A and B are shown apart, each in its own frame.
Chain A
Amino acid sequence: MSEANASATRITPGNALRPEDIALLETKPADAVAQYALWLGDDALILAQRLGWWISRAPELEEDVALGNIALDQIGHARSFLTYAGRAWDKTEDDLAYFRREPEFRSVHLVEQPNGDFARTIARQFVVALYQWELYSRLVDSSDPTLAAIAAKAVKEVDYHRDHSIQWTLRLAQGTDESRRRMIAGLKLTWPYVEELFTDHPLVNELGDIAVRPSSLRSSFDEAVKLVLDEADLELPDVPGAIGGGRQGLHSEHLGYILAELQVLAREYPGASW
């Protein structure tokens, strides 16, 4: 059996799909598909970079482990999407993660937001996880088999992230006065960046049934949010949505610092292997 066959058999929805398998694919995604994979890969990468900071700083050791698992899942998704995107341009996941400049990144502003206190991180997780779950639940039906396969693995993991963030949202909202105050503040700081997640972009028109149309996820996302906020006795934050632009390479001021840290070592030794 040739390597191509070996990997082809692995690329079926539900199979544990590793970036190493995707790197062996013979098929190259079209440029637009690769661009779309960058969206999803960059979101996961920047989020993992943010979450990784918590390991050794969480409120309790059990939570170090929990956030670690979430960060590891996200970095796994990032590696798969970036590896797949890179196939279009003969680049590796690391070429894309370490040697692109800020305007070439496609992450949304939400994942770039600072960790803040635990409540702010949970608020961001709550939004990201609910969004990613809606997204991957639809992406499993993508007509692109690789995207569908990555989504099939990711959706199960993100389902757990969703649960984790909901559990904490309920506890912080209804724990003590202080935790409630912090949870409300965290949601308020997070909410301006929700709108960008559901904003359509010409790229999805081009992709047809390969991609998921962001605006199509909004109503189920809103319903899911409402259920949790009702149970937590929280109001939807009344704040205006911020102008995004991440998908066009227009980022928040935070991304520059994130990339400076992420890329520093790789760029100090260009061409080195690690």
Chain B
Amino acid sequence: MTTTAIDAGSRVDEDTAGEQLFNELIAQDSRIEPRDWMPADYRKALTRQISQHAHSEIIGMQPEANWITRAPSLKRKAVLMAKVQDEAGHGLYLYSAAETLGTPRDKMTEDLIAGKARYSSIFNYPVRTWADIGAIGWLVDGAAICNQVPLCRASYGPYGRAMVRVCKEESFHQRQGFEILLELANGTPEQRAMAQDAVNRWYAPSLMMFGPPDEDSPNSQKSMEWKIKRFSNDELRSRFVGMMVEQVKVLGLELPDAEIRYNDETGRWEHGPLDWNEFKEVLAGRGPCNAQRMERRREAHEDGAWVREAAAAYAEKQAAKYAQAA
């Protein structure tokens, strides 16, 4: 037997032992940590999910950032700034979690601006009025929180920890959106119409944020086995509809869906049909703002290159200076 053969043999043993431990940890509902053995597919699926999540936070800054300079009161301006800034922070936490799986942030950013990575397609819709800022906070952040709370218990430790931090910070995001709408709904007839119009436009896209129906979501199954996901797309969507149906009453507005009902037999909220074709179109890059969002991200990254280089060069020079002095 050659040495190589022995090495290969012991690696197989290690993998088997690693896999056994991995399976045990998942079965015990414990957590997987960065340096544990994990199946290549688990690593790949997680890297994809976490980086997409991070990209969504970063691209998601844009539609709202566009309104920072126009926010109609100074209080709203400060709140919106803080919220968009939080999203940069959330993107950072998530990129960090993804980095523990071995892909550097740079690489993820490159994939994003090269159009190779996905982000939540909802951010490809335009933010037409100030009421949209309210609707995004209430519906889009609401849906995101619904999705994210169970992710705090995701089997991958760093992801779960990042989500805990994100959820804690996001609790104000949905409330500020709700309060914007509440203020508008109780305002002038024009403001009220603006609020209803925004809810009409953001309702269906926010429902589609939970992903395709369970029968069309092949990745979900594996993800649930691995305890990355804890609930199916449809389960979460139904839960979300149930919450919105109550909250919209406080706003005195309506959800643009006459078919919402609670199904006693299944114990689930049901909603009207969603246009999954549009979802696929937007995902495929044909949303009203896909090109604009990508261009803006690329521009920021490329325009910033000389700054990042300068800081890196300065650090190098300083380090050399200290080394010489020592």
Chain A residues with CB under 8 Å of chain B are 19, 45, 48-49, 52-53, 55-65, 68-69, 71-72, 75-76, 78-79, 82, 93-94, 97-98, 117-118, 170-172, 174-176, 178-179, 182, 261-262, 264-266, 269, 271-274
Contacts and interface: CB of A to CB of B under 8 A. Distances in A.
Given A49-B69, A52-B69, A175-B313, A68 B74 contact: no
B65 interface: yes
B92 A61 contact: yes
Q: Tell me if A's interface is mostly helix, strand, loop or mixed.
A: helix
Interface in B245-265: none
A141 B310 CA distance: 40
A58 B304 contact: yes
A72 B78 contact: yes
Given A56-B84, A94-B74, A65 B89 contact: yes
Interface string B180-191: 100110011011
A175 B309 contact: yes
Given A61-B91, A76-B78, A179-B309, A69 B304 contact: no
A23 B317 CA distance: 51
B85 interface: yes
A262 B85 contact: no
B75 interface: yes
A64 B310 contact: no
A75 B80 CA distance: 12
Interface of B: 58, 61-62, 65, 68-78, 81-82, 84-85, 88-89, 91-92, 95, 130, 180, 183-184, 187-188, 190-191, 296, 299-300, 303-314, 317
Contact of B311 (A64, A76, A79, A171): A171
A93 B74 contact: yes
B310 A172 contact: yes
Contact of B306 (A71, A178, A272): A178
- Residue picked from A56, A57, A97, A261, most chain B C-beta under 10 Å: A56
Contacts of A58: 300, 304
B69 A261 contact: yes
A52 B70 CA distance: 11
Contacts of A75: 74, 77-78, 81
Contacts of A56: 61-62, 65, 84, 88, 296, 300
A261 B313 contact: no
A55 B65 contact: yes
A60 B61 contact: no
A269 B188 contact: yes
B310 A52 contact: no
11 contacts: A52-B69, A55-B81, A56-B62, A59-B307, A62-B92, A68-B81, A94-B73, A178-B306, A179-B313, A266-B73, A274-B130
Given A75-B78, A79-B75, A93-B74, A60 B69 contact: no
B85 A68 contact: yes
A77 B314 CA distance: 33
Nearest to B88: A64
A55 B191 contact: no
A272 B191 contact: yes
A176 B191 contact: no
Given A60-B308, A176-B313, A266-B73, 9 more contacts: A49-B69, A55-B81, A59-B305, A59-B307, A65-B85, A75-B78, A93-B74, A172-B307, A261-B69
- Select the residue from A64, A170, A171, A182 with max chain B CB neighbours within 10 A: A64
A208 B70 CA distance: 37
Contacts of A272: 72, 187-188, 190-191
A152 B61 CA distance: 33
Contacts of B307: 59-60, 63, 118, 172, 179
B170 to A, nearest CB: 16
A178 B309 CA distance: 10
A269 B130 CA distance: 12
A264 B85 CA distance: 23
Contacts of A76: 78
A73 to B, nearest CB: 10
B85 A265 contact: no
Nearest to B302: A59
B220 to A, nearest CB: 29
Nearest to B191: A272
A79 B78 contact: yes
Nearest to B188: A272
A239 B89 CA distance: 40
A265 B58 CA distance: 26
Contacts of B311: 171, 175
Contacts of A19: 74
Contacts of A93: 74
Q: Which of A61, A265, A272 has the most CB of B within 10 A?
A: A61
Contacts of B309: 175-176, 178-179
Contacts of A49: 69
B91 to A, nearest CB: 6
Contacts of B68: 52-53, 55
A274 B183 contact: yes
A176 B72 CA distance: 41
A56 B91 CA distance: 11
A175 B187 CA distance: 53
A53 B306 contact: no
